[in-house]
Amino acid sequence: MSLFHRKAPAPIPFDPSKEEPVVKKSICTGETTVGFADRATGHFRDVSKVTSLSEIREFCERTETDPVKIRTIY
């Protein structure tokens, strides 16, 4: 094993029948957060704050979601 070998990020567990991965952006501050929205109630469950598009892509990889299909909520 190499000293600089990067491990694959661990998948984030969620129930696709009840939740959907979303990007949440603040209208006031511009802060961007990724997480899951409950399909029935719309309740947002925060996973992490992101600062770049590459972090959003990593979230999509970890949730096995197509980055084009991820929804943005405000």
Per-residue pLDDT of 38-74, as tens digits, reads: 999 999 999 999 999 999 999 999 999 998 889 999 9
- Answer yes or no: is 68 within a domain: yes
- Answer yes or no: is 48 within a domain: yes
DSSP the chain: --TTPPPPPPPPP--TTTEEEEEEE-TTT--EEEEEEETTT--EEEEEEE-SHHHHHHHHHHHT--TTT-EEE-
Domain count, the chain: 1
Looking at 11-15, 23-27, 36-40, 61-65, which range is the least confident one? 11-15
For residue 67 the two structure tokens come to: 């980055």
- Answer yes or no: is 11 within a domain: no
Domain span holding position 46: 19-73
pLDDT for residue 2: 59
Spatial strand order of the sheet with 32-38 comes to 44-50, 32-38, 19-25, 71-73
pTM: 0.82
Closest CA to 13 of 49, 62, 51: 62
